[in-house]
């Protein structure tokens, strides 16, 4: 009787010691109840996560869907050891326990339980810590679970299981991130993870203060297309997601960002223009019947999409500012860009504009080479023959064809007999004298 009492006391002491050790090692992953007069006295749950080789791909396939994108994870939901310590544990009686795991098949759990009982048979000692270590380090290899992992039709509720695994992995990764230290890519100071933000697309890390100030500045100044990862050389060119932006810069700035992005999208759409009224500026879809007609749905203003003036009818011509610049941009564009111009301004309209601009430029070039502007009314005057003393046919102003300056109508030839004049002795410069001689008769001149 005394030996049995001593053995029972020894078992009780070992159980108490094991509880203390597990509580110290596993902390939040270990819970238990202690009822002194009950049998068993100690019962509880030990949660054990399996060690994975770096990142693991997990596929969820079924007869209905064989091409689903796999999950890339670092953590799987843990195995739970639900235990109770009988009075004769650990010397005479095995620990009462069962395993639970949301993603393991029933036969895997049975194999693990048999293996753990075999460990107690070998040790005949407190084994909960050994159980946890075996599950953590050896369960994947012992059960011969293939990596990448695959869950098929034999796993009930695979879509729900996918969500559970994804959610658990994200939570653990986030908890690890908060405890780590990172060097901010903007201010280059080391910060605790809880004060940092990791961009989901490229995983670059910046402190929240720097990232918030940088993105806020870009949105405030209107550079919304530059709201991307600020890491030099980052290969991810996608814009930051709406959810991340709200977390970084807040709802108010994100609303401005979305408004500016929508405005830029509309501006790049060749079928959309904006109401020209300064107090409106609403986006307007072009009329399908008339290429140039736009009717604002906000204020009702009908206008020409081409010249931005009040609607003047389909046949009336347009007066457009910077026509020459528009034509130059159109002619220099590639085929895709030209198509965008044609959708915005109309192919027929552009064709007419190009012809008009080319003719106007050719006319200007001819006038520069063959005519001189009147210094009074700027009418271009062409010299067909004779000397360089000219008289404007419009305003009757006398001027020099060589230099374009005004000359005195009372004594016009003094301009050509002045040594200080650039046209001194050049009255007949540029004149075909042989043709002139054939057309003039000496008898026409009065002798002095």
- Model pLDDT for residues 264-282, shown as the tens digit of each residue: 887 777 778 888 888 888 8
- Model pLDDT for residues 132-154, shown as the tens digit of each residue: 999 999 999 999 988 888 887 55
Q: What is the pLDDT of residue 3?
A: 42
The arrangement of strands across the sheet holding 30-34 comes to 30-34, 42-48, 79-84, 96-100
Q: What is the pLDDT of residue 161?
A: 84
Determine whether 387 is an active site residue.
Answer: yes
CATH 3.30.40.10 location in the chain: 180-267
- Asked whether the beta carbons of 168 and 76 are under 8 A apart, the reply is yes
Percent of the chain scored above 70 by pLDDT?
87
- Model pLDDT for residues 385-435, shown as the tens digit of each residue: 788 888 888 888 899 988 888 888 888 888 888 888 888 888 888 776 665
Q: What is the pLDDT of residue 205?
A: 92
User: Could you give the CA distance from residue 431 to residue 422 in angstroms, rounded to a whole number?
Assistant: 17
- Model pLDDT for residues 203-223, shown as the tens digit of each residue: 899 999 999 999 999 999 988
User: CA dihedral defined by 112, 115, 119, 122, rounded to 10 degrees?
Assistant: 170
- Model pLDDT for residues 38-73, shown as the tens digit of each residue: 778 899 999 999 998 888 898 887 656 556 788 889
In this prediction the pTM is 0.54
Q: Would you say how long the chain is, in residues?
A: 448
Average pLDDT on 106-129 reads: 93
The answer to whether domain 2-171 has CATH 3.10.110.10 is: yes
Q: Is 70 exceeded by the pLDDT of residue 159?
A: no
Hey, which CATH number is domain 180-267, 3.40.1790.10, 3.30.43.10, 2.60.40.10, 3.30.40.10?
A: 3.30.40.10
Long-range contacts of 321-325 (CB under 8 A, 24+ apart): 323/353, 323/356, 323/357, 324/357, 324/361
Least confident of 23-32, 112-121, 225-234, 325-334: 325-334
CATH 3.10.110.10 location in the chain: 2-171
Closest CA to 310 of 268, 277, 270, 337: 277
By CB atoms closer than 10 A (0-12, 13-18, 19+), residue 68 is middle
* Active-site residue (options: 101, 210, 307, 387): 387
Query: Please, which pLDDT band fits residue 192 given cuts at 50, 70 and 90?
Result: very high
Cα dihedral sign for 410, 412, 414, 420?
positive
Q: Is 50 exceeded by the pLDDT of residue 171?
A: yes
Angle CA 240–246–250, to nearest 5:
130
Q: What is the pLDDT of residue 448?
A: 39
């Amino acid at each position: 009787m005394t030996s049995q009492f001593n053995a029972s006391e020894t078992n009780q002491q070992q159980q108490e010691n094991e509880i203390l050790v597990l509580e110290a090692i596993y902390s939040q992953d270990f819970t238990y109840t202690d009822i002194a007069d009950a049998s068993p006295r100690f019962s509880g749950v030990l949660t054990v996560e399996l060690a994975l080789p770096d990142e693991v791909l997990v596929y969820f396939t079924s007869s209905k869907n064989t091409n689903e994108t796999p999950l890339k994870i670092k953590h799987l939901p843990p195995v739970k050891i639900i235990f109770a310590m009988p009075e004769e544990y650990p010397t005479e009686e095995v620990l009462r326990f069962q395993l639970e795991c949301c993603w393991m098949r029933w036969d895997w759990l049975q194999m693990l339980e048999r293996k753990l009982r075999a460990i107690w048979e070998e040790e005949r000692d407190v084994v909960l810590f050994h159980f946890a270590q075996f599950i953590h380090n050896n369960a994947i290899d012992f059960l011969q679970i293939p990596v990448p992992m695959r869950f098929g039709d034999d796993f009930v509720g695979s879509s729900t299981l996918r969500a559970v695994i994804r959610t658990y992995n994200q939570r653990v990764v986030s908890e690890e991130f908060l405890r780590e230290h990172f060097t901010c890519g903007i201010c280059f100071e080391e910060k605790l993870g809880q004060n940092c933000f990791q961009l989901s697309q490229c995983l670059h890390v910046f402190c929240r203060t720097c990232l918030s100030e940088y993105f806020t500045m870009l949105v405030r100044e209107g550079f919304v297309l530059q709201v991307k990862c600020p890491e030099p050389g980052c290969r991810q060119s996608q814009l930051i997601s709406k959810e991340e932006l709200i977390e970084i810069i807040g709802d108010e700035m994100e609303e401005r960002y979305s408004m500016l992005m929508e405005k830029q999208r509309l501006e790049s759409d060749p079928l959309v223009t904006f109401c020209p009224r300064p107090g409106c500026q609403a986006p307007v879809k072009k009329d399908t019947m008339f290429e140039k007609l736009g009717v604002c749905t906000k204020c009702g203003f009908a206008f020409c999409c081409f010249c931005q003036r009040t609607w003047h009818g389909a046949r009336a011509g347009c007066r457009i500012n910077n026509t020459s610049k528009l034509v130059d941009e159109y002619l220099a564009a590639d085929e895709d860009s030209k198509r965008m111009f044609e959708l915005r301004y109309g192919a027929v309209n552009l064709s007419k504009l190009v012809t008009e601009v080319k003719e106007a430029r050719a006319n200007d070039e001819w006038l520069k080479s063959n005519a001189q502007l009147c210094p009074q009314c700027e009418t271009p005057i062409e010299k067909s023959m004779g000397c360089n003393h000219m008289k404007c046919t419009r305003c009757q102003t006398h001027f020099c064809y060589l230099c374009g300056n005004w000359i005195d109508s009372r004594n016009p030839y003094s301009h050509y007999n002045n040594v200080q004049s650039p046209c001194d002795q050049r009255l007949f410069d540029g004149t075909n004298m042989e043709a002139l001689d054939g057309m003039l008769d000496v008898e026409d001149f009065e002798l002095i």
